[in-house]
Amino acid sequence: MNALEIRNKFLNYFKNHGHSIIPSAPLIPENDPSVLFTTAGMHPLVPYLLGEVHPAGTKLADYQKCLRTVDIDEVGDNRHLTFFEMLGNWSLGEYFKKESIKYSMEFLTKELNIPVEKLSVTCFKGDEDAPRDEETAKIWEENGMPKERIYFFGKEDNWWIAGETGPCGPDTEIFYDTGKEPCSKECNPSCGCGKYVEIWNNVFMEYYKDAEGNYTKLKQRNVDTGLGLERINMLLQGKETPFDTEIFKPMMDKLESLAKNDNLSSRRIIAEHLRSSMMIIADGGKPSNIDRGYILRRLIRRMIRHLNKIGIELDKLKELIDLNIEILGEMYPDLVQNKENIINTILAEKDKFMKTLENGEKELQKELSKLKAKGEDTLSAEEVFRLYETYGFPQEVTKEISEENGFKIDLRKL
């Protein structure tokens, strides 16, 4: 099974269970300047979770393109992604815990054929804001989950809210056991050792958190679920990382064949950032120096630096974009429709960045020579900032080049 097949199975399953299928909202939220990108499936649905009537009804299913950039610097390891797809089923004041859990269990074990022995779940253990969720645990048991694989945790693990305020509630998370050895006697789904991987989150959204931190009941009880597509795809294929699945593998192989000094982490950064950049551009994003435009700029520039690092000529960029459209075009037809714009935007940004690199590097080399003449070994924070302000020279590039020349940089924030 591949990612597209899983997505189709998911949407069909929920369609057959009375859900209307709604299209993914764009990555760039419409009419919402308060957030840069859609970061979760619930994002475009917030008004309806609060009670507005959705034109497609009260039971919905969708796939949602999401972008989370808090972990951007972690990309390059074996799991972090900025762009990902969330499959979700939604009850807007309609069904609640019983049906939601039954659907999840049935979809995972009957449609995806995951043995129930591979699954464990976590529930909210309760606090002063909301009671312990024994009801959810009981429903899991009724659906065949053995008691010893039902865990209880606090808000940090089993409560979902997007941001600081808004609709929220206790959740129950479903974990997949990779079969790795337990890390200790206490090894459990929340320990983070990698034995258990979270695959699906069912949020029972019946609260609202206000700016003072008070929780009140919403006028309707909702269900918001999110199943991470890249992750479930990787697990079902028995792979250790999403980069080994069909979503990334052909690009990873292509980069390997082009690289003069291969480096796995750089190849992951290139493949990941290229995919995210293309998705943002297809949804109307443009590189700039602020907000979302800056995130896009940062993704493209980081990708280019790593192409340079592993010795791939930048005139190969167009070929790489074409390849990504081949890999991803069936899943994301927007990429095919926006092909010209994607190519033009990325290539124009590459040209700008090359100029920046050239001018900034000349200036940096001058500064490093001055330091050398004075017998000093650290580039000041003021200088790092000046290179950024005047030449747009990114701090991480200053650091890299300085270090290559035997200098440190002062990373103090000014």
Which residues sit at the interface with ligand SER, rule CB under 6 A? 40-42, 86, 88, 160, 201, 203, 224-226
Amino acid making up residue 129: D
**Closer by beta carbon to ligand SER, 133 or else 224:** 224
CB 260 to ligand SER: min, Å: 40
- Run of H or E residues at 379: strand 378-379
Q: Which two tokens stand for residue 326?
A: 């081949």
CB 88 to ligand SER: min, Å: 5
**Closer by beta carbon to ligand SER, 26 or else 88:** 88
Are 124 and 130 within 8 A, CB to CB? Answer: yes
**Closer by beta carbon to ligand SER, 90 or else 140:** 90
CB 162 to ligand SER: min, Å: 6
Amino acid making up residue 139: I
CA separation for the pair 411, 414 (Å, rounded):
9
**Closer by beta carbon to ligand SER, 100 or else 245:** 100
Q: Which two tokens stand for residue 367?
A: 């500064």
- Pairing of the two strands 159-161 and 166-177: antiparallel
CB 200 to ligand SER: min, Å: 8
CA separation for the pair 330, 253 (Å, rounded):
20
**Closer by beta carbon to ligand SER, 38 or else 120:** 38
Amino acid making up residue 230: E
Q: How far, in Å, are 76, 78, 193, 255, 256 from residue 196 at the CA level? A: 21, 15, 7, 31, 31
CA separation for the pair 272, 321 (Å, rounded):
12
CB 51 to ligand SER: min, Å: 18
CA separation for the pair 15, 9 (Å, rounded):
10
Burial category of 246 from C-beta neighbours within 10 Å (exposed 0-12, middle 13-18, buried 19 and up): middle
Are 50 and 218 within 8 A, CB to CB? Answer: yes
CB 178 to ligand SER: min, Å: 20
**Closer by beta carbon to ligand SER, 133 or else 367:** 133
CB 169 to ligand SER: min, Å: 10
**Closer by beta carbon to ligand SER, 226 or else 394:** 226
